[in-house]
């Protein structure tokens, strides 16, 4: 449990999620991953989707460890890769006896309808445990998934997970679309780092009043529940929380945008067994 606590707000190391060109073949090598976050799942699905869309062959290598290997399969990454025609060695027939903690397996989002449906699904699953957390999760997942439909011009992926041992939720949304720098270039962004900071501060590509509120509101709501938000676009990454923003090293530049949010379930106490509430 201490390891889980320590990892809760740690940025997801994305080493292995850069496509390496191994003898003419693109490979996503997850073999060295000792744990897998929703961020890793949606990043892998997004990169696989981009390869499939460009008709580029790709092979995904599953984590070697039994737990992350099994988890990635249980969260349907293997099925998503199958549907994209991407080679992989992830399990696809994982026994799913207890999936209560898997709020949302890897799912595509390409429209506002998709974004609403997925946000409703996770919020409804969580509602019995914590109504306040359910409301925040609905708002955050909806806003981040809506950004994919609204700005990215691409299909994205969403996943969410309950961490009952530490009373927390993690969700992630990724797309291989324009990326924040291209999206905010007309607003003066000249680097990935500048674009990430501008997006967190509420700058939008559009002049319409009230635009650009998704990320700042998501950050505020996550912070109110002792949470944090990790934002990666291109070569820039930031972890933001109520105590400020921290620039993170980028192990693998991401060709689009990836967000991972963490929030605590209100009222959860250490030692509680199972889910909060």
The torsion angles phi and psi of 130, rounded to 5 degrees, stand at -160, 110
Q: Does 258 bind another protein (CB under 8 A)?
A: no
E strands along 52-123, which residues? 58-61, 87-88, 104-109
Q: How many residues bind another protein (CB under 8 A)?
A: 24
The residues pairing with 170 across neighbouring beta strands, listed in sequence order, are 161, 262
Q: In 3D, which of 215, 209, 210, 201 has the Cα closest to residue 258?
A: 215
CB of 224 to another protein, least distance (A): 10
Joined together, the tokens standing for residue 54 give 């460009």
Which listed range, 76-84, 159-167, 202-210, 229-237, lies at the site for another protein (CB under 8 A)?
202-210
Q: Does 214 bind another protein (CB under 8 A)?
A: yes
Interface map 217-246 toward another protein (x if CB under 8 A): x-----------------------------
Q: Which is nearer to another protein, 81 or 115 (CB)?
A: 115
- Scanning the structure block, which residue is given the tokens 């062959």? 57
Q: Which residues between 125 and 154 bind another protein (CB under 8 A)?
A: 127, 134-136, 138-139, 142-143, 146, 149-150
Contacts for 202 with CB less than 8 Å, ≥ 6 apart: 212, 213, 215, 216
Interface map 107-126 toward another protein (x if CB under 8 A): -----x--xx--xx--x---
CB of 171 to another protein, least distance (A): 14
Joined together, the tokens standing for residue 210 give 């009230």
Q: Does 187 bind another protein (CB under 8 A)?
A: no
**Separation CA 103–CA 41 (nearest Å):** 14
**Separation CA 24–CA 219 (nearest Å):** 41
Q: Does 213 bind another protein (CB under 8 A)?
A: yes
Q: Does 82 bind another protein (CB under 8 A)?
A: no
**Separation CA 201–CA 44 (nearest Å):** 28
Residue ranges in contact with another protein by CB under 8 A: 112, 115-116, 119-120, 123, 127, 134-136, 138-139, 142-143, 146, 149-150, 208-211, 213-214, 217
């Amino acid at each position: 449990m201490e390891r889980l606590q320590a990892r809760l707000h740690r940025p997801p190391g994305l080493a292995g999620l850069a496509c390496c060109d191994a003898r003419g073949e693109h490979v996503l090598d997850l073999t060295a991953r000792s744990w897998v976050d929703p961020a890793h799942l949606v990043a892998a699905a997004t990169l696989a989707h981009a390869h499939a869309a460009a008709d580029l062959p790709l092979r995904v290598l599953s984590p070697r460890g039994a737990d992350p290997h099994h988890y990635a399969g249980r969260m349907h990454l293997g099925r998503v890769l199958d549907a994209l025609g991407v080679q992989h060695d992830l399990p696809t027939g994982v026994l799913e006896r207890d999936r209560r903690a898997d709020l949302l397996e890897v799912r595509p989002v390409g429209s506002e309808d998709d974004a609403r449906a997925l946000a409703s699904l996770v919020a409804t699953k969580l509602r019995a445990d914590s109504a306040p957390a359910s409301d925040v999760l609905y708002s955050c997942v909806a806003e981040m998934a809506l950004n994919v439909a609204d700005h990215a011009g691409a299909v994205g992926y969403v996943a969410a997970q309950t961490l009952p041992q530490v009373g927390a939720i993690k969700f992630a949304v990724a797309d291989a679309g324009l990326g924040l720098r291209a999206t905010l270039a007309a607003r003066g962004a000249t680097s990935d780092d500048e674009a990430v900071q501008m997006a967190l501060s509420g700058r939008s590509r559009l002049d319409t009043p009230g635009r650009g509120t998704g990320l700042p509101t998501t950050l505020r709501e996550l912070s109110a529940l002792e949470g944090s938000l990790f934002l990666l676009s291109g070569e820039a990454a930031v972890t933001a929380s109520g105590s400020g923003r921290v620039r993170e090293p980028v192990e693998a530049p991401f060709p689009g945008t990836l967000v991972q949010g963490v929030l605590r379930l209100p009222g959860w106490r250490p030692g509680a067994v199972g889910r909060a509430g």
